[in-house]
C-alpha cells in the first residue's frame, strides 16, 4: 500500500495567487495602457490617421525603430562576447568589468546622455578623433544608435551570462574529441543552447531602446525629420496640450512594439522547440 503525499506550497493556492497576479497587472499595466486607447478615441479615424502618418511622425518612427533595432543587434553580438569573456576567462580587473556592465542600469539616463554627448561631440574625447575621419556621432542618427546601444548592453549580458555558467564543459570536450573545431563546437553545440537567452536579451534591449528618452535627447540634437525620436515627439505634443495627438502616436508605438515582441517570443519558442530546450 503506497501513500501519496500531497506536495504543499509555501505560497497560497493557485486561485488566490492568480487573483492577486491579475489584480496587480490590471492596476499597474492594463488599466494605464487602456487609458491611452480611450484618449485616442476622441479623434475621428481621419484625424487619427492624419496624425500618425504625418511626415514628421513617420521620420520619428523610422529613427526610433531603426536605431532600436540596430542597437539591439549590436548588443546581441557584443553582449554575447562580453558575457563569454566574463564567464570563460580570468583576468585582472574582472570584477570591475563585471560591475561596469550594470552601470547603465544605475546611471540616470540624463547623466548618460550628457556623458555620451561630451565624449562624442566634435571637441570630445572620442569625437575629436572621429570628426577628421568624417564620422559624426553627436547630433546625428549615429548618436542615437550609440545611446541606445549603451543603455541596452546589460540586458543581453545578464541574460546570457547565467546560461553560459551552467553550460557543461564536458559537452564541448566531447565535440572536440570527435573532431569538431572551435568554430564548429560553438556553432553546433554552444550556440543552440544559448540562442533562446540571446533572443530574450535582444528583445529586452530592443523594448528598452524603443522607450528611451533621457539619454537620447542630449546626443541626438532633436532636429525634426532627422534626429527626432518618437518619445520626444510625444513629449512635444504634450507640452503643446495636444493630448489626443500624443496618445495617437503612443498607440501606434504600443501596438507596433507589442507585435514585434510577439514575433521575437515566437522565434524564441521555435528555437526552444527545435533544440529541445525546456
- Of 120 and 182, more confident: 120
Average pLDDT, the chain: 85
Q: What is the pLDDT of residue 122?
A: 87
Q: Is residue 12 part of a domain?
A: no
Q: Is the pLDDT of residue 24 over 80?
A: yes
φ and ψ of 98, to 5 deg: -60, -40
Helical (H) or strand (E) element with 46: helix 45-52
At 188, which CATH number? 1.10.3720.10
Average pLDDT of span 142-169? 89
* Distance in angstroms (rounded) separating the CA atoms of residues 228 and 221: 8
* Distance in angstroms (rounded) separating the CA atoms of residues 186 and 63: 34
Q: Is residue 267 part of a domain?
A: yes
Q: Which of 138-147, 170-179, 266-275 tops mean pLDDT? A: 138-147
- Sequence length of the chain is 278
Q: What is the pLDDT of residue 258?
A: 84
Q: Is residue 25 part of a domain?
A: no
Q: Which of 4-8, 74-78, 265-269 tops mean pLDDT? A: 74-78
* Distance in angstroms (rounded) separating the CA atoms of residues 252 and 37: 10
As a whole-number percent, the residues of the chain with pLDDT over 90 amount to 28
Question: What is the tens place of the pLDDT at every residue in 64-96?
Answer: 999 999 999 999 999 999 999 998 888 898 899
Q: Is the pLDDT of residue 12 over 70?
A: no
For the chain, the maximum distance between any two Cα atoms, rounded to a whole number of angstroms, is 84
Q: Is residue 38 part of a domain?
A: no
Q: Is residue 13 part of a domain?
A: no
Cell of 220: 541626438
Q: Is residue 1 part of a domain?
A: no
What are the angstrom distances between the C-alpha of 145 and each of 57, 125, 181, 237? 19, 18, 35, 24
pLDDT band at 10 (very low <50, low <70, confident <90, very high): low
Q: Is residue 118 part of a domain?
A: yes
- Of 264 and 87, more confident: 87
φ and ψ of 195, to 5 deg: -60, -45
CA pseudo-torsion sign 29, 208, 238, 54 = negative
Q: What is the pLDDT of residue 275?
A: 57
DSSP notation for 144-200? HHHHHHHHHHHHHHHHHHHHHHHS-HHHHHHHHHTT--HHHHIIIIIHHHHHHHHHH
Number of domains in the chain: 1
Asked whether 204 and 155 are in contact (CB, 8 A), the reply is yes
**All residues at 6 or more sequence positions from 197 whose CB lies less than 8 Å from its CB, including other chains:** 159, 160, 162, 163
What 80-84 contacts at long range (C-beta under 8 Å, 24+ apart), as own/partner pairs, is 80/156, 80/160, 80/194, 80/198, 82/153, 82/157, 83/156, 83/157, 83/160, 83/161, 83/164, 84/164
Q: What is the pLDDT of residue 1?
A: 47
Q: Is residue 89 part of a domain?
A: yes
Q: Taking the chain, what is the end-to-end CA distance rounded to the nearest angstrom?
A: 34
Nearest to 84 by CA among 98, 74, 99: 98
pLDDT band at 260 (very low <50, low <70, confident <90, very high): confident
Question: At which residue does the C-alpha cell 501513500 appear?
Answer: 3
Q: Is the pLDDT of residue 42 over 80?
A: yes
Q: What is the pLDDT of residue 8?
A: 61
**177 lies in which domain range?**
51-274
Q: Is the pLDDT of residue 271 over 50?
A: yes
**All residues at 6 or more sequence positions from 109 whose CB lies less than 8 Å from its CB, including other chains:** 151, 212, 213, 214, 215
Q: What is the pLDDT of residue 124?
A: 87
Amino acid at each position: 500500500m503506497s501513500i501519496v503525499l500531497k506536495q504543499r506550497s509555501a505560497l497560497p493556492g493557485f486561485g488566490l495567487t492568480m487573483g492577486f497576479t491579475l489584480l496587480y497587472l490590471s492596476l499597474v499595466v492594463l488599466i494605464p495602457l487602456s487609458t491611452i486607447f480611450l484618449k485616442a478615441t476622441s479623434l475621428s479615424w481621419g484625424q487619427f490617421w492624419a496624425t500618425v502618418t504625418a511626415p514628421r511622425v513617420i521620420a520619428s518612427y523610422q529613427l526610433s525603430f531603426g536605431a532600436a533595432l540596430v542597437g539591439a543587434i549590436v548588443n546581441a553580438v557584443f553582449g554575447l562576447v562580453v558575457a563569454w569573456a566574463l564567464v570563460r576567462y580570468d583576468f585582472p580587473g574582472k570584477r570591475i568589468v563585471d560591475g561596469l556592465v550594470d552601470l547603465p542600469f544605475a546611471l540616470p539616463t540624463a547623466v548618460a546622455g550628457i556623458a555620451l554627448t561630451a565624449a562624442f561631440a566634435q571637441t570630445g574625447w572620442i569625437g575629436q578623433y572621429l570628426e577628421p575621419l568624417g564620422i559624426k556621432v553627436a547630433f546625428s542618427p549615429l548618436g542615437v544608435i550609440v545611446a541606445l546601444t549603451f543603455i541596452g548592453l546589460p540586458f543581453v549580458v545578464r541574460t546570457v551570462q547565467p546560461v553560459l555558467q551552467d553550460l557543461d564543459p564536458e559537452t564541448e570536450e566531447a565535440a572536440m574529441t570527435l573532431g569538431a573545431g572551435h568554430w564548429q563546437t560553438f556553432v553546433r553545440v554552444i550556440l543552440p543552447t544559448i540562442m533562446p537567452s540571446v533572443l530574450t536579451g535582444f528583445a529586452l534591449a530592443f523594448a528598452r531602446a524603443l522607450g528611451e528618452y533621457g539619454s537620447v535627447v542630449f546626443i541626438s540634437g532633436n532636429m525634426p525629420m532627422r534626429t527626432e525620436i518618437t518619445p520626444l515627439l510625444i513629449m512635444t505634443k504634450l507640452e503643446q496640450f495636444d493630448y489626443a495627438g500624443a496618445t495617437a502616436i503612443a498607440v501606434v508605438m504600443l501596438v507596433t512594439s507589442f507585435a514585434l515582441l510577439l514575433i521575437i517570443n515566437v522565434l524564441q519558442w521555435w528555437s526552444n522547440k527545435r533544440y529541445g530546450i525546456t
